[in-house]
A and B are shown apart, each in its own frame.
Chain A
Amino acid sequence: MEFGIFTVGDVTTDPTTGRTPSEHERIKATLAIAQKAEEVGLDVFATGEHHNPPFVPSSPTTLLGYLAARTERLVLSTSTTLITTNDPVKIAEDYAYLQHLAEGRVDLMMGRGNTGPVYPWFGQDIRRGIELAVENYALLRRLWREDVVDWEGTFRTPLQGFTATPRPLDGVPPFVWHGSIRSPEIAEQAAYYGDGFFHNNIFWPMSHTRRMVDLYRQRYAHHGHGGPEQAVVGLGGQVFMRGNSQDAVREFRPYFDNAPVYGHGPSLEDFTEQTPLTVGSPQQVVERTLGFRDAVGDYQRQLFLMDHAGLPLKTVLEQLDILGEEVVPVLRKEFAALRPAGVPETAPPHPAVARGSAAPAAPAAHAVEEG
Protein backbone atom coordinates (compact mmCIF):
# COMPACT_ATOMS: atom_id res chain seq x y z
CA MET A 1 0.00 0.00 0.00
CA GLU A 2 1.18 3.51 -0.79
CA PHE A 3 0.99 6.45 1.58
CA GLY A 4 1.45 10.06 0.69
CA ILE A 5 0.17 13.59 0.80
CA PHE A 6 -1.91 15.70 -1.54
CA THR A 7 -1.99 19.46 -1.64
CA VAL A 8 -4.61 21.94 -2.77
CA GLY A 9 -2.02 24.71 -2.92
CA ASP A 10 -4.15 27.34 -1.19
CA VAL A 11 -2.66 30.63 -0.04
CA THR A 12 -4.53 31.14 3.22
CA THR A 13 -4.02 33.60 6.05
CA ASP A 14 -2.80 31.97 9.25
CA PRO A 15 -5.73 32.80 11.55
CA THR A 16 -3.53 32.71 14.65
CA THR A 17 -1.13 35.38 13.39
CA GLY A 18 -3.07 37.16 10.66
CA ARG A 19 -0.12 36.62 8.33
CA THR A 20 -0.68 35.66 4.68
CA PRO A 21 2.24 34.07 2.81
CA SER A 22 3.12 35.43 -0.60
CA GLU A 23 2.59 33.22 -3.63
CA HIS A 24 6.36 32.82 -3.81
CA GLU A 25 6.54 31.67 -0.19
CA ARG A 26 3.69 29.24 -0.77
CA ILE A 27 5.37 27.75 -3.81
CA LYS A 28 8.70 27.36 -1.99
CA ALA A 29 6.87 25.83 0.98
CA THR A 30 5.25 23.31 -1.37
CA LEU A 31 8.71 22.21 -2.55
CA ALA A 32 9.91 21.83 1.04
CA ILE A 33 6.80 19.83 1.95
CA ALA A 34 7.17 17.46 -1.02
CA GLN A 35 10.84 16.83 -0.30
CA LYS A 36 10.04 16.28 3.37
CA ALA A 37 7.48 13.68 2.33
CA GLU A 38 10.23 11.63 0.73
CA GLU A 39 12.57 12.21 3.67
CA VAL A 40 10.07 10.82 6.19
CA GLY A 41 9.45 7.75 4.05
CA LEU A 42 6.18 8.55 2.30
CA ASP A 43 5.57 7.18 -1.19
CA VAL A 44 3.49 9.79 -3.04
CA PHE A 45 3.23 13.55 -3.47
CA ALA A 46 0.23 14.82 -5.44
CA THR A 47 -0.58 18.40 -6.37
CA GLY A 48 -3.89 19.96 -7.25
CA GLU A 49 -4.39 22.15 -10.31
CA HIS A 50 -6.12 25.51 -10.03
CA HIS A 51 -6.45 28.56 -12.21
CA ASN A 52 -7.85 31.05 -9.77
CA PRO A 53 -6.66 32.76 -6.58
CA PRO A 54 -6.08 31.97 -3.75
CA PHE A 55 -4.47 28.86 -5.25
CA VAL A 56 -0.97 28.71 -6.75
CA PRO A 57 -0.56 25.36 -8.55
CA SER A 58 -1.59 26.27 -12.09
CA SER A 59 1.39 24.48 -13.63
CA PRO A 60 1.65 20.98 -12.14
CA THR A 61 4.30 19.53 -14.46
CA THR A 62 6.59 22.49 -13.75
CA LEU A 63 6.32 21.73 -10.04
CA LEU A 64 6.60 17.97 -10.50
CA GLY A 65 9.49 18.32 -12.96
CA TYR A 66 11.45 20.24 -10.33
CA LEU A 67 10.61 17.62 -7.73
CA ALA A 68 11.65 14.84 -10.10
CA ALA A 69 15.19 16.25 -9.95
CA ARG A 70 15.14 16.72 -6.19
CA THR A 71 13.75 13.36 -5.13
CA GLU A 72 14.72 9.74 -5.64
CA ARG A 73 11.78 7.51 -4.82
CA LEU A 74 8.68 9.68 -4.44
CA VAL A 75 5.87 8.98 -6.91
CA LEU A 76 4.83 12.33 -8.39
CA SER A 77 1.12 12.61 -8.97
CA THR A 78 -1.80 15.02 -9.26
CA SER A 79 -5.00 15.66 -7.36
CA THR A 80 -6.42 16.43 -9.80
CA THR A 81 -5.46 17.09 -13.43
CA LEU A 82 -8.30 18.95 -15.11
CA ILE A 83 -9.37 16.63 -17.89
CA THR A 84 -12.20 19.00 -18.80
CA THR A 85 -10.47 22.32 -19.42
CA ASN A 86 -6.96 21.17 -20.41
CA ASP A 87 -6.30 20.09 -23.93
CA PRO A 88 -5.82 16.31 -23.78
CA VAL A 89 -3.01 16.67 -26.33
CA LYS A 90 -1.07 18.87 -23.93
CA ILE A 91 -1.74 16.52 -21.00
CA ALA A 92 -0.43 13.60 -23.09
CA GLU A 93 2.76 15.49 -23.93
CA ASP A 94 3.41 17.13 -20.55
CA TYR A 95 3.05 13.94 -18.53
CA ALA A 96 4.94 11.73 -20.99
CA TYR A 97 7.80 14.24 -20.80
CA LEU A 98 7.57 14.20 -17.00
CA GLN A 99 7.79 10.39 -17.05
CA HIS A 100 11.16 10.66 -18.80
CA LEU A 101 12.46 13.22 -16.30
CA ALA A 102 11.24 11.18 -13.33
CA GLU A 103 12.26 7.76 -14.67
CA GLY A 104 8.67 6.60 -14.55
CA ARG A 105 7.81 7.86 -11.05
CA VAL A 106 4.64 9.50 -12.34
CA ASP A 107 0.96 8.82 -12.25
CA LEU A 108 -1.96 11.18 -12.40
CA MET A 109 -5.51 11.63 -11.28
CA MET A 110 -8.18 12.98 -13.57
CA GLY A 111 -10.74 15.38 -12.21
CA ARG A 112 -13.31 17.74 -13.65
CA GLY A 113 -12.85 20.84 -11.50
CA ASN A 114 -15.81 22.53 -9.86
CA THR A 115 -14.98 26.21 -10.27
CA GLY A 116 -17.63 27.51 -12.67
CA PRO A 117 -15.71 30.38 -14.31
CA VAL A 118 -12.62 28.27 -15.05
CA TYR A 119 -14.56 26.47 -17.76
CA PRO A 120 -15.42 29.57 -19.83
CA TRP A 121 -11.94 30.99 -19.20
CA PHE A 122 -10.65 27.92 -21.00
CA GLY A 123 -13.38 27.97 -23.63
CA GLN A 124 -15.58 25.26 -22.12
CA ASP A 125 -18.95 24.88 -20.39
CA ILE A 126 -19.26 23.36 -16.90
CA ARG A 127 -22.65 21.89 -17.80
CA ARG A 128 -20.82 19.59 -20.21
CA GLY A 129 -18.24 18.56 -17.60
CA ILE A 130 -18.97 14.83 -17.73
CA GLU A 131 -19.00 14.73 -21.55
CA LEU A 132 -15.71 16.64 -21.60
CA ALA A 133 -14.17 14.19 -19.12
CA VAL A 134 -15.32 11.21 -21.20
CA GLU A 135 -14.25 12.48 -24.62
CA ASN A 136 -10.96 14.08 -23.54
CA TYR A 137 -9.86 11.04 -21.59
CA ALA A 138 -10.68 8.67 -24.45
CA LEU A 139 -8.45 10.80 -26.68
CA LEU A 140 -5.69 11.04 -24.06
CA ARG A 141 -5.53 7.25 -23.83
CA ARG A 142 -5.15 6.92 -27.58
CA LEU A 143 -2.46 9.60 -27.75
CA TRP A 144 -0.39 7.63 -25.24
CA ARG A 145 -1.03 4.23 -26.80
CA GLU A 146 -1.06 4.84 -30.55
CA ASP A 147 1.92 6.37 -32.36
CA VAL A 148 -0.20 8.02 -35.03
CA VAL A 149 -3.68 9.22 -34.18
CA ASP A 150 -6.52 10.26 -36.47
CA TRP A 151 -9.30 11.61 -34.34
CA GLU A 152 -12.44 13.69 -34.49
CA GLY A 153 -14.70 14.66 -31.61
CA THR A 154 -16.99 17.35 -30.26
CA PHE A 155 -14.78 19.55 -28.15
CA ARG A 156 -11.42 20.11 -29.83
CA THR A 157 -10.12 20.46 -33.33
CA PRO A 158 -9.72 17.15 -35.21
CA LEU A 159 -6.34 15.45 -35.49
CA GLN A 160 -5.01 13.88 -38.68
CA GLY A 161 -1.76 11.95 -38.53
CA PHE A 162 -0.84 13.35 -35.12
CA THR A 163 1.92 11.90 -32.94
CA ALA A 164 2.17 13.10 -29.34
CA THR A 165 5.82 13.49 -28.35
CA PRO A 166 7.71 12.30 -26.48
CA ARG A 167 6.24 8.81 -26.47
CA PRO A 168 5.56 7.47 -22.94
CA LEU A 169 8.65 6.11 -21.18
CA ASP A 170 9.29 2.53 -22.39
CA GLY A 171 5.98 2.80 -24.25
CA VAL A 172 4.03 2.50 -21.02
CA PRO A 173 1.74 5.41 -20.15
CA PRO A 174 1.39 6.64 -16.56
CA PHE A 175 -1.19 4.88 -14.42
CA VAL A 176 -4.39 6.91 -14.18
CA TRP A 177 -6.75 7.45 -11.29
CA HIS A 178 -10.13 9.10 -11.68
CA GLY A 179 -11.18 11.30 -8.80
CA SER A 180 -14.77 12.18 -8.04
CA ILE A 181 -16.69 13.04 -4.89
CA ARG A 182 -20.19 12.28 -6.08
CA SER A 183 -20.47 11.53 -9.80
CA PRO A 184 -21.27 7.87 -10.46
CA GLU A 185 -20.38 8.44 -14.14
CA ILE A 186 -16.73 8.95 -13.13
CA ALA A 187 -16.69 5.77 -11.02
CA GLU A 188 -18.06 4.04 -14.11
CA GLN A 189 -15.38 5.60 -16.32
CA ALA A 190 -12.61 4.36 -14.00
CA ALA A 191 -14.18 0.90 -13.91
CA TYR A 192 -14.66 0.75 -17.68
CA TYR A 193 -10.96 1.27 -18.34
CA GLY A 194 -9.74 -0.72 -15.35
CA ASP A 195 -8.11 2.46 -14.03
CA GLY A 196 -7.91 3.50 -10.38
CA PHE A 197 -10.66 5.33 -8.55
CA PHE A 198 -9.86 7.93 -5.92
CA HIS A 199 -12.29 9.47 -3.47
CA ASN A 200 -11.09 12.61 -1.72
CA ASN A 201 -12.89 11.44 1.42
CA ILE A 202 -12.62 14.80 3.12
CA PHE A 203 -15.83 16.75 3.03
CA TRP A 204 -18.50 14.09 3.12
CA PRO A 205 -19.44 11.28 5.47
CA MET A 206 -17.64 7.96 5.09
CA SER A 207 -20.96 6.28 4.20
CA HIS A 208 -20.97 8.33 1.01
CA THR A 209 -17.36 7.43 0.15
CA ARG A 210 -18.28 3.79 0.63
CA ARG A 211 -21.19 3.99 -1.82
CA MET A 212 -18.98 5.51 -4.51
CA VAL A 213 -16.23 2.92 -4.00
CA ASP A 214 -18.74 0.05 -3.94
CA LEU A 215 -20.18 1.20 -7.25
CA TYR A 216 -16.68 1.41 -8.77
CA ARG A 217 -15.76 -2.07 -7.50
CA GLN A 218 -18.95 -3.64 -8.89
CA ARG A 219 -18.49 -2.01 -12.26
CA TYR A 220 -14.77 -2.89 -12.36
CA ALA A 221 -15.72 -6.55 -12.02
CA HIS A 222 -18.58 -6.13 -14.53
CA HIS A 223 -16.11 -4.85 -17.14
CA GLY A 224 -13.98 -7.95 -16.63
CA HIS A 225 -10.84 -6.47 -15.09
CA GLY A 226 -10.90 -8.82 -12.08
CA GLY A 227 -12.81 -9.33 -8.89
CA PRO A 228 -14.33 -6.31 -7.13
CA GLU A 229 -11.69 -6.69 -4.42
CA GLN A 230 -8.97 -6.30 -7.06
CA ALA A 231 -10.09 -2.86 -8.20
CA VAL A 232 -7.56 -0.12 -7.48
CA VAL A 233 -8.87 2.26 -4.83
CA GLY A 234 -7.34 5.39 -3.35
CA LEU A 235 -8.67 7.53 -0.53
CA GLY A 236 -7.92 10.95 0.81
CA GLY A 237 -8.10 12.00 4.39
CA GLN A 238 -7.10 14.86 6.62
CA VAL A 239 -5.49 14.71 10.02
CA PHE A 240 -3.85 16.91 12.61
CA MET A 241 -1.78 15.23 15.30
CA ARG A 242 0.04 15.92 18.51
CA GLY A 243 1.30 13.42 21.08
CA ASN A 244 -1.54 14.46 23.35
CA SER A 245 -4.90 14.59 21.57
CA GLN A 246 -6.10 17.61 23.59
CA ASP A 247 -3.07 19.54 22.35
CA ALA A 248 -3.94 18.61 18.78
CA VAL A 249 -7.52 19.86 19.19
CA ARG A 250 -6.43 23.09 20.86
CA GLU A 251 -3.83 23.88 18.22
CA PHE A 252 -5.92 22.93 15.19
CA ARG A 253 -9.23 24.52 16.23
CA PRO A 254 -8.51 28.08 14.99
CA TYR A 255 -7.41 26.67 11.62
CA PHE A 256 -10.52 24.51 11.42
CA ASP A 257 -12.84 27.32 12.48
CA ASN A 258 -11.50 29.61 9.75
CA ALA A 259 -10.76 27.05 7.04
CA PRO A 260 -11.86 28.26 3.60
CA VAL A 261 -14.02 25.25 2.80
CA TYR A 262 -15.84 24.31 6.00
CA GLY A 263 -14.93 27.11 8.40
CA HIS A 264 -17.61 29.13 10.16
CA GLY A 265 -19.89 26.12 9.94
CA PRO A 266 -20.08 23.01 12.10
CA SER A 267 -17.96 22.58 15.19
CA LEU A 268 -14.68 20.68 15.01
CA GLU A 269 -16.33 17.97 17.11
CA ASP A 270 -19.34 17.59 14.78
CA PHE A 271 -17.16 17.59 11.69
CA THR A 272 -14.74 14.98 13.02
CA GLU A 273 -17.70 12.81 13.94
CA GLN A 274 -19.49 13.19 10.60
CA THR A 275 -16.50 13.13 8.22
CA PRO A 276 -13.15 11.31 8.13
CA LEU A 277 -11.26 14.33 9.61
CA THR A 278 -9.19 13.16 12.59
CA VAL A 279 -7.67 15.57 15.10
CA GLY A 280 -5.88 13.79 17.91
CA SER A 281 -2.99 11.49 18.74
CA PRO A 282 -1.07 9.42 16.18
CA GLN A 283 -2.76 6.35 17.65
CA GLN A 284 -6.21 7.85 16.94
CA VAL A 285 -5.16 8.53 13.36
CA VAL A 286 -3.98 4.93 13.00
CA GLU A 287 -7.30 3.59 14.27
CA ARG A 288 -9.41 5.93 12.15
CA THR A 289 -7.44 5.16 9.01
CA LEU A 290 -7.69 1.41 9.58
CA GLY A 291 -11.43 2.04 9.86
CA PHE A 292 -11.46 3.29 6.25
CA ARG A 293 -10.64 -0.28 5.25
CA ASP A 294 -13.75 -1.49 7.10
CA ALA A 295 -15.78 0.88 4.94
CA VAL A 296 -14.28 0.39 1.48
CA GLY A 297 -12.27 -2.84 1.70
CA ASP A 298 -8.54 -3.27 1.16
CA TYR A 299 -7.26 -0.33 -0.80
CA GLN A 300 -4.05 0.68 -2.48
CA ARG A 301 -3.31 4.33 -1.79
CA GLN A 302 -3.91 6.67 1.14
CA LEU A 303 -3.19 10.37 0.70
CA PHE A 304 -3.42 12.88 3.54
CA LEU A 305 -4.13 16.59 3.21
CA MET A 306 -1.61 18.27 5.53
CA ASP A 307 -0.81 21.77 4.24
CA HIS A 308 -3.97 23.80 4.17
CA ALA A 309 -6.10 26.31 6.04
CA GLY A 310 -3.12 28.58 6.73
CA LEU A 311 -1.02 26.12 8.75
CA PRO A 312 2.55 27.45 8.84
CA LEU A 313 5.28 25.50 7.05
CA LYS A 314 7.02 24.61 10.31
CA THR A 315 3.85 22.99 11.64
CA VAL A 316 3.25 21.08 8.40
CA LEU A 317 6.80 19.70 8.50
CA GLU A 318 6.26 18.61 12.12
CA GLN A 319 3.05 16.88 11.06
CA LEU A 320 4.95 15.04 8.33
CA ASP A 321 7.53 13.88 10.90
CA ILE A 322 4.75 12.43 13.05
CA LEU A 323 3.06 10.87 10.02
CA GLY A 324 6.32 9.30 8.83
CA GLU A 325 7.53 8.13 12.22
CA GLU A 326 4.45 7.13 14.18
CA VAL A 327 1.56 6.58 11.79
CA VAL A 328 2.60 5.23 8.41
CA PRO A 329 4.95 2.45 9.65
CA VAL A 330 2.13 1.08 11.81
CA LEU A 331 -0.41 1.39 9.02
CA ARG A 332 1.88 -0.34 6.52
CA LYS A 333 2.24 -3.29 8.87
CA GLU A 334 -1.43 -3.50 9.82
CA PHE A 335 -2.79 -3.11 6.28
CA ALA A 336 -0.30 -5.66 4.93
CA ALA A 337 -1.30 -8.20 7.56
CA LEU A 338 -4.99 -7.74 6.74
CA ARG A 339 -4.72 -7.77 2.95
CA PRO A 340 -5.72 -11.13 1.45
CA ALA A 341 -3.70 -12.77 -1.31
CA GLY A 342 -4.85 -11.71 -4.75
CA VAL A 343 -5.56 -8.13 -3.76
CA PRO A 344 -2.99 -5.79 -5.32
CA GLU A 345 -0.73 -4.05 -2.86
CA THR A 346 -0.44 -0.91 -4.97
CA ALA A 347 -1.49 0.42 -8.33
CA PRO A 348 0.73 -1.15 -11.01
CA PRO A 349 4.06 0.70 -10.92
CA HIS A 350 5.73 1.81 -14.14
CA PRO A 351 8.15 -0.89 -15.38
CA ALA A 352 11.06 1.57 -14.96
CA VAL A 353 10.17 1.90 -11.28
CA ALA A 354 9.41 -1.79 -10.84
CA ARG A 355 12.93 -2.56 -12.05
CA GLY A 356 14.13 -0.45 -9.15
CA SER A 357 16.75 1.13 -11.35
CA ALA A 358 17.19 4.46 -13.02
CA ALA A 359 19.18 2.82 -15.82
CA PRO A 360 17.81 3.35 -19.30
CA ALA A 361 15.58 0.50 -20.34
CA ALA A 362 15.87 -1.53 -23.47
CA PRO A 363 13.27 -0.43 -25.99
CA ALA A 364 10.04 -2.13 -25.06
CA ALA A 365 7.21 -3.03 -27.33
CA HIS A 366 4.46 -0.47 -27.12
CA ALA A 367 1.59 -1.60 -25.03
CA VAL A 368 -1.22 -1.50 -27.51
CA GLU A 369 -4.77 -1.70 -26.37
CA GLU A 370 -7.96 -1.55 -28.26
CA GLY A 371 -9.44 1.91 -28.10
Chain B
Amino acid sequence: MTAPRTAPVRLAVVSAGLGVPSSTRLLADRITASVRGELAARERPVEVTVVELRDLAVPIAHHLVTGFPPPALEEASLAVARADGLIAVTPVFSASFSGLFKSFFDLLDPDALTGTPVLAAATGGTARHSLVLEHALRPLFAHLRARTVPTAVYAASEDWGGAGDALTEDLPVRIGRAARELAVLLDAPAADRAPQPDPADLFA
Protein backbone atom coordinates (compact mmCIF):
# COMPACT_ATOMS: atom_id res chain seq x y z
CA MET B 1 0.00 0.00 0.00
CA THR B 2 1.35 3.43 -0.89
CA ALA B 3 1.30 5.80 2.05
CA PRO B 4 0.75 9.50 1.37
CA ARG B 5 3.98 11.49 1.36
CA THR B 6 2.90 13.32 4.50
CA ALA B 7 2.68 10.08 6.47
CA PRO B 8 5.74 9.45 8.64
CA VAL B 9 8.27 6.95 7.39
CA ARG B 10 8.26 4.02 9.81
CA LEU B 11 11.84 3.12 10.53
CA ALA B 12 12.72 0.08 12.64
CA VAL B 13 16.15 -0.25 14.21
CA VAL B 14 17.32 -3.66 15.42
CA SER B 15 20.39 -3.60 17.64
CA ALA B 16 21.94 -6.86 18.83
CA GLY B 17 24.57 -5.35 21.14
CA LEU B 18 24.86 -7.01 24.52
CA GLY B 19 26.81 -4.48 26.59
CA VAL B 20 25.30 -1.49 28.33
CA PRO B 21 26.31 0.90 26.92
CA SER B 22 26.93 -0.90 23.67
CA SER B 23 29.00 0.22 20.70
CA THR B 24 26.51 -1.63 18.49
CA ARG B 25 23.70 0.54 19.82
CA LEU B 26 25.92 3.58 19.48
CA LEU B 27 26.44 2.79 15.78
CA ALA B 28 22.71 2.12 15.37
CA ASP B 29 21.92 5.52 16.89
CA ARG B 30 24.45 7.32 14.70
CA ILE B 31 23.02 5.72 11.57
CA THR B 32 19.45 6.44 12.68
CA ALA B 33 20.27 10.11 13.27
CA SER B 34 21.86 10.33 9.85
CA VAL B 35 18.84 8.71 8.13
CA ARG B 36 16.54 11.00 10.04
CA GLY B 37 18.54 14.00 8.79
CA GLU B 38 18.45 12.80 5.19
CA LEU B 39 14.68 12.32 5.35
CA ALA B 40 14.18 15.69 7.08
CA ALA B 41 15.99 17.29 4.14
CA ARG B 42 13.36 15.63 1.93
CA GLU B 43 10.61 16.91 4.27
CA ARG B 44 9.71 13.39 5.35
CA PRO B 45 8.90 12.93 9.05
CA VAL B 46 10.19 9.72 10.61
CA GLU B 47 8.78 7.44 13.26
CA VAL B 48 11.52 5.31 14.80
CA THR B 49 11.08 2.06 16.74
CA VAL B 50 14.22 0.69 18.34
CA VAL B 51 14.32 -3.03 19.10
CA GLU B 52 17.05 -3.93 21.58
CA LEU B 53 17.55 -7.66 21.24
CA ARG B 54 19.29 -7.85 24.61
CA ASP B 55 15.94 -7.12 26.26
CA LEU B 56 14.33 -9.86 24.19
CA ALA B 57 16.97 -12.57 24.68
CA VAL B 58 14.77 -14.68 26.97
CA PRO B 59 11.53 -14.25 24.95
CA ILE B 60 13.49 -15.22 21.80
CA ALA B 61 14.69 -18.41 23.52
CA HIS B 62 11.14 -19.14 24.66
CA HIS B 63 9.76 -18.67 21.18
CA LEU B 64 12.37 -21.08 19.82
CA VAL B 65 11.29 -23.65 22.40
CA THR B 66 7.50 -23.17 22.46
CA GLY B 67 6.76 -22.06 18.90
CA PHE B 68 4.91 -18.90 19.82
CA PRO B 69 6.19 -15.43 20.74
CA PRO B 70 5.78 -13.99 24.23
CA PRO B 71 3.98 -10.60 24.04
CA ALA B 72 7.09 -8.37 24.08
CA LEU B 73 8.68 -10.28 21.21
CA GLU B 74 5.46 -10.32 19.21
CA GLU B 75 5.26 -6.55 19.51
CA ALA B 76 8.86 -6.10 18.36
CA SER B 77 8.45 -8.51 15.45
CA LEU B 78 5.32 -6.71 14.28
CA ALA B 79 7.11 -3.35 14.46
CA VAL B 80 9.87 -4.70 12.22
CA ALA B 81 7.45 -6.39 9.81
CA ARG B 82 5.35 -3.24 9.47
CA ALA B 83 8.30 -0.86 9.06
CA ASP B 84 8.99 0.93 5.79
CA GLY B 85 12.71 0.53 6.37
CA LEU B 86 15.09 -1.32 8.67
CA ILE B 87 18.48 -0.58 10.16
CA ALA B 88 20.00 -3.84 11.43
CA VAL B 89 23.16 -3.76 13.51
CA THR B 90 24.99 -6.71 15.05
CA PRO B 91 28.28 -7.29 16.79
CA VAL B 92 30.58 -9.78 15.05
CA PHE B 93 30.77 -13.09 16.92
CA SER B 94 32.87 -16.01 15.68
CA ALA B 95 33.10 -14.96 12.04
CA SER B 96 29.44 -13.97 11.66
CA PHE B 97 26.48 -12.09 13.13
CA SER B 98 25.63 -12.94 16.73
CA GLY B 99 23.38 -15.91 17.37
CA LEU B 100 20.83 -13.67 19.05
CA PHE B 101 20.67 -11.45 15.94
CA LYS B 102 20.16 -14.48 13.70
CA SER B 103 17.56 -16.00 16.04
CA PHE B 104 15.45 -12.84 15.89
CA PHE B 105 15.38 -12.98 12.09
CA ASP B 106 14.84 -16.77 12.18
CA LEU B 107 11.60 -16.15 14.08
CA LEU B 108 10.25 -13.42 11.81
CA ASP B 109 7.65 -14.42 9.27
CA PRO B 110 9.57 -15.43 6.12
CA ASP B 111 7.78 -12.70 4.14
CA ALA B 112 8.07 -9.99 6.79
CA LEU B 113 10.92 -8.14 5.08
CA THR B 114 10.06 -8.81 1.44
CA GLY B 115 10.81 -5.61 -0.47
CA THR B 116 11.81 -3.68 2.65
CA PRO B 117 14.86 -1.41 2.31
CA VAL B 118 17.52 -2.51 4.81
CA LEU B 119 20.72 -0.91 5.96
CA ALA B 120 23.06 -3.53 7.43
CA ALA B 121 25.80 -2.62 9.89
CA ALA B 122 28.16 -4.38 12.26
CA THR B 123 30.67 -3.67 14.98
CA GLY B 124 33.81 -5.51 15.97
CA GLY B 125 37.08 -5.25 17.81
CA THR B 126 39.11 -5.21 14.64
CA ALA B 127 38.58 -4.08 11.06
CA ARG B 128 39.71 -7.53 9.91
CA HIS B 129 36.13 -8.78 10.33
CA SER B 130 34.47 -6.14 8.21
CA LEU B 131 33.61 -8.48 5.32
CA VAL B 132 31.15 -10.21 7.63
CA LEU B 133 28.70 -7.64 6.26
CA GLU B 134 29.11 -9.03 2.76
CA HIS B 135 29.52 -12.70 3.67
CA ALA B 136 26.86 -13.03 6.35
CA LEU B 137 24.43 -10.09 6.61
CA ARG B 138 23.92 -9.42 2.92
CA PRO B 139 23.03 -13.07 2.07
CA LEU B 140 20.66 -13.20 5.07
CA PHE B 141 18.72 -10.18 3.85
CA ALA B 142 18.89 -11.38 0.23
CA HIS B 143 17.29 -14.62 1.41
CA LEU B 144 14.55 -12.60 3.11
CA ARG B 145 14.06 -10.68 -0.17
CA ALA B 146 14.85 -7.39 1.48
CA ARG B 147 16.40 -4.54 -0.52
CA THR B 148 19.78 -4.05 1.13
CA VAL B 149 21.41 -0.72 0.34
CA PRO B 150 24.79 -0.90 -1.44
CA THR B 151 26.77 0.57 1.46
CA ALA B 152 26.99 -1.51 4.61
CA VAL B 153 28.64 0.10 7.62
CA TYR B 154 31.31 -1.57 9.71
CA ALA B 155 32.68 0.10 12.83
CA ALA B 156 35.81 -1.35 14.42
CA SER B 157 36.96 -0.03 17.79
CA GLU B 158 39.58 2.12 16.09
CA ASP B 159 36.94 3.79 13.90
CA TRP B 160 35.49 5.59 16.87
CA GLY B 161 38.72 7.59 17.12
CA GLY B 162 40.01 7.34 13.57
CA ALA B 163 39.95 9.59 10.57
CA GLY B 164 40.10 6.97 7.84
CA ASP B 165 43.12 6.50 5.64
CA ALA B 166 44.12 6.85 2.01
CA LEU B 167 41.87 3.97 0.98
CA THR B 168 39.00 4.27 3.50
CA GLU B 169 36.70 7.12 4.30
CA ASP B 170 36.13 7.73 7.97
CA LEU B 171 33.10 6.36 9.81
CA PRO B 172 30.86 9.45 9.56
CA VAL B 173 31.35 9.54 5.80
CA ARG B 174 30.43 5.86 5.47
CA ILE B 175 27.40 6.34 7.72
CA GLY B 176 26.33 9.34 5.68
CA ARG B 177 26.58 7.49 2.38
CA ALA B 178 24.62 4.47 3.65
CA ALA B 179 22.00 6.73 5.25
CA ARG B 180 21.56 8.63 2.00
CA GLU B 181 21.10 5.39 0.08
CA LEU B 182 18.46 4.24 2.55
CA ALA B 183 16.70 7.62 2.54
CA VAL B 184 16.48 7.62 -1.25
CA LEU B 185 14.71 4.23 -1.17
CA LEU B 186 12.43 5.30 1.67
CA ASP B 187 11.50 8.53 -0.06
CA ALA B 188 10.78 6.85 -3.39
CA PRO B 189 7.20 5.99 -4.26
CA ALA B 190 6.58 2.50 -2.95
CA ALA B 191 4.67 1.48 -6.08
CA ASP B 192 7.29 -1.07 -7.02
CA ARG B 193 6.98 -2.76 -3.65
CA ALA B 194 4.41 -5.53 -3.60
CA PRO B 195 1.49 -4.75 -1.33
CA GLN B 196 1.67 -6.97 1.72
CA PRO B 197 -1.01 -8.24 4.03
CA ASP B 198 -0.87 -6.96 7.55
CA PRO B 199 1.35 -9.52 9.25
CA ALA B 200 -0.93 -9.41 12.27
CA ASP B 201 -3.69 -10.91 10.18
CA LEU B 202 -2.85 -14.58 9.73
CA PHE B 203 -5.71 -15.17 7.38
CA ALA B 204 -5.47 -12.15 5.11
Contacts and interface: CB of A to CB of B under 8 A. Distances in A.
Interface string A204-230: 110010010001000000000000000
A203 B69 CA distance: 11
Nearest to B71: A274
B71 to A, nearest CB: 8
A275 B66 CA distance: 10
Contact of B62 (A205, A208, A266): A266
A116 interface: no
B188 interface: no
B68 A264 contact: no
Contact of A208 (B65, B66, B68, B70): B68
Contacts of B67: 203-204
Contacts of B64: 265
Contacts of B71: 274
B61 interface: yes
A173 to B, nearest CB: 29
Contacts of B61: 265
B203 A211 contact: yes
Nearest to B65: A265
B70 A266 contact: yes
Contacts of B203: 184, 211, 215
How many B residues are at the interface, by size bracket? 10 to 19
A211 B201 CA distance: 9
A94 to B, nearest CB: 31
A90 interface: no
B20 interface: no
B70 A262 contact: no
B202 interface: yes
A182 B70 contact: no
Nearest to B202: A211
Contacts of B65: 262, 264-266
A270 interface: yes
A269 to B, nearest CB: 12
A184 B203 CA distance: 7
A159 to B, nearest CB: 35
B68 A184 contact: no
**Residue picked from B65, B67, B68, most chain A C-beta under 10 Å:** B68
Interface in A257-300: 261-262, 264-266, 270-271, 274-275
Interface string B5-30: 00000000000000000000000000
A275 B62 CA distance: 13
Contacts of A264: 65
Q: Is the interface of A mostly helix, strand, loop or mixed?
A: loop
Nearest to B201: A211
A22 B105 CA distance: 41
A271 B66 contact: yes
Interface string A241-258: 000000000000000000
Interface string B23-67: 000000000000000000000000000000000000001101111
Nearest to A264: B65
A203 B202 contact: no
A305 to B, nearest CB: 15
Contact of B66 (A184, A211, A215, A262): A262
Contacts of B202: 182, 184, 208, 211
A205 B68 contact: yes
Nearest to A274: B70
Interface in B60-97: 61-62, 64-68, 70-71
Contacts of A204: 67-68
A353 B67 CA distance: 39
Contacts of A265: 61-62, 64-66
Contacts of A275: 68
A186 B66 CA distance: 22
Nearest to B70: A274
B61 to A, nearest CB: 7
B110 to A, nearest CB: 14
Nearest to A261: B66
A204 B67 CA distance: 8
A275 B63 CA distance: 13
Contacts of A266: 62, 65-66, 70
B197 to A, nearest CB: 12
Nearest to B67: A203
A162 B62 CA distance: 50
A68 B170 CA distance: 79
Nearest to A211: B202
A271 B202 CA distance: 22
A265 B67 CA distance: 11
Contacts of A182: 202
Nearest to A271: B66
Contacts of B62: 265-266, 270
Given A203-B67, A266-B66, 18 more contacts: A182-B202, A184-B202, A184-B203, A203-B66, A204-B67, A208-B68, A211-B203, A262-B66, A265-B61, A265-B62, A265-B65, A265-B66, A266-B62, A266-B65, A266-B70, A270-B70, A274-B70, A274-B71
Per CB-CB distance, the 8 closest pairs between chain A and chain B, nearest first, are A265-B65, A266-B62, A204-B68, A184-B203, A262-B66, A265-B62, A265-B66, A215-B203
Interface of A: 182, 184, 203-205, 208, 211, 215, 261-262, 264-266, 270-271, 274-275
